[in-house]
Amino acid sequence: MRRATALLATTLLAASACGGDGKDGPCTLGSNDGCETGQVCEEVVGGENACFAPVTIEGRVFDTADDVGIANATVVALDANGGARSNVVRSAADGTYALPVPTRRDAEGVPVADAVTLRVSAAGYQTFPTAPRSALPLQLGDAVAGDDGYVLRNAASDVGLVSIGVVGGTIEGTVSGPAELVGGVLVVAEQGGVAVSSAVSGSDGDFLLFNVPNGSTVVAGYRAGVVIAPETVDATGALTDVVLDATTAGVARVSGSVNIVNAAGGSVTSVILAVASTFDEDAARGEAPAGLRVANVSNAFTFEGVPPGRYAVLAAFENDGLVRDPDTNIGGTEIVFVDVAGADVTLDTSFKVTGALAVRSPGAEGVEVIGAGDPTFVWEDDSSEDGYELVVVDALGDVVHTADVGGVSGSADVTYTWTGAALEPGMIYQFRVKSFRERSGRTYISATEDLRGVFEYQP
């Protein structure tokens, strides 16, 4: 298979010399401009953009109660911080979908290691993921070569949605403006300052918001470098033809700093701005518009092109060896919010990030396949802990096992062997751990990272 993959990739690269279809010059990243029919222009690590057959995630959207496919669901790929990574596609009548995802390639055109998660919405269903459900990462580097490019499909690309019982209304519309501004906009329907629905606009600017309760609703849009004039609408039934005007005038700069504590020297993290109306306090997560992320942050950071709005400032949601400090008994660990209104802002509050608990196995790097028997989870010991909380979720984001694990002494690692119900063959799981102290109540010290600890059970 590895030989076949390499041969196909080489063939695709040779057939996709820059300026396909007789055009001169490099291709245009993120499109098929300059490429032959059926190809897309991709980033090549260490080289110029080139044309290749696409990488496609294939899967199925279904009702978790009866396994029936869900038609007309919207599916989009997100990066580690919740920014849009792809255009939006709709599921077919049987719930199946095919989602092309821009993917970095090596010099031979083979996809490099990279992770995305899926965001899926449908009428009458809770958007996936919504806390406490979470989306497991899909590793684009695991896509398999075929006749028409690379395809990635596994248990994590099949998405089960949970019925919410009552189908709300829909708001359909478009982001209007120059072509380079309208795609990948996070569109949020807000009632009383709280997001009741959200969507991501396609490359043509079109969007569809599901399950919107009746009533006065503010429809707002967010993307770095783009200012969207919000519209107030009466959300009743199926509302169409809502137009959000996009411009570049009125963006601002947001600056601040993080304080990295109890972590290896020289550690860096990333920081994102999540729309405050989407922020879930229990999960400490929110939806981040595309482009509102700063990487390689060791202390000071600056966001450019921030549109007006209220945001939660969040850090360390990637595999960088760091997590947000969960100890709420010390200063600098509360969530920081910022209001942006067209003028530059400097945050007067720094917040703490701490070293993560390293995952040893399974899933230290990507999805790890494990065989028959009860899995054993191994992670780095936190020397000042009284114990650990362990949670295992499946590819649907459902919690399938929890346990309190006692602290250890004299060992660099902690080991826990599965004691839950039988694992499902072919299913993908993730284990997560938080360390804690017991004083006058339980306080948390650190945690494993959001994208590690993933494994596939194949007995």
Domains of the chain with CATH codes: 2-161 (2.60.40.1120), 169-247 (2.60.40.10), 252-355 (2.60.40.1120), 359-457 (2.60.40.4070)
85's tokens: 């990574």
DSSP state of 28: P
Question: Element (H or E) spanning 217, and its range?
Answer: strand 215-223
How far is residue 411's CA from residue 385's CA, in Å, rounded to a whole number? 13
Distances (CA, A) of 394 to 66, 85, 153, 267: 18, 23, 16, 31
How far is residue 192's CA from residue 65's CA, in Å, rounded to a whole number? 32
Site of tokens 């596939």:
456
Cβ atoms of residues 314 and 253 within 8 Å:
no
Predicted local confidence at residue 282, as pLDDT: 65
76 contacts: CB under 8 Å, gap ≥ 6: 84, 85, 86, 87, 88, 89, 99, 118, 119, 120, 200
Tell me if residue 411 falls in helix, strand or coil: coil
Residue 348 burial (10 A CB sphere; 0-12, 13-18, 19+) = exposed
Q: 10 Å Cβ neighbour count for 64? A: 15
pLDDT in tens, the chain (459 residues): 333 344 444 444 334 334 333 344 578 887 788 898 889 999 999 889 999 999 999 999 999 888 999 999 999 998 876 667 888 899 999 999 999 999 999 988 999 989 999 999 999 998 888 765 778 889 999 999 998 899 999 989 999 988 887 778 999 999 999 988 998 899 999 999 999 999 988 878 889 999 999 999 999 999 999 999 999 999 988 999 999 999 999 999 999 998 888 776 558 888 999 999 999 876 677 888 988 988 888 889 999 999 999 999 987 667 788 887 766 665 556 788 999 999 999 998 887 888 899 999 999 987 888 998 899 999 999 988 999 999 998 887 788 999 999 999 889 999 999 998 899 888 889 999 999 999 888 899 999 988 789 888 888
Predicted local confidence at residue 16, as pLDDT: 38
Tell me if residue 12 falls in helix, strand or coil: helix
How far is residue 426's CA from residue 92's CA, in Å, rounded to a whole number? 24
Q: Are strands 74-78 and 115-121 parallel, antiparallel or unpaired?
A: antiparallel
Site of tokens 């010390």:
330
Predicted local confidence at residue 268, as pLDDT: 84
Question: Element (H or E) spanning 3, and its range?
Answer: helix 2-15
Q: Are strands 387-394 and 399-406 parallel, antiparallel or unpaired?
A: antiparallel
Q: Quick one: how far is CA 395 from the chain centroid?
A: 14
Predicted local confidence at residue 328, as pLDDT: 60
Residue 237 burial (10 A CB sphere; 0-12, 13-18, 19+) = exposed
How far is residue 27's CA from residue 33's CA, in Å, rounded to a whole number? 6
Tell me if residue 388 falls in helix, strand or coil: strand
Q: pTM for the full model?
A: 0.74
How far is residue 388's CA from residue 20's CA, in Å, rounded to a whole number? 56
Predicted local confidence at residue 12, as pLDDT: 41
Which residues are registered as beta bridge partners of 275? 311
How far is residue 224's CA from residue 186's CA, in Å, rounded to a whole number? 10
Cβ atoms of residues 247 and 280 within 8 Å:
no
How far is residue 160's CA from residue 95's CA, in Å, rounded to a whole number? 10
Report how many helices (DSSP H) and strands (DSSP E) the chain contains, helices first.
2, 37
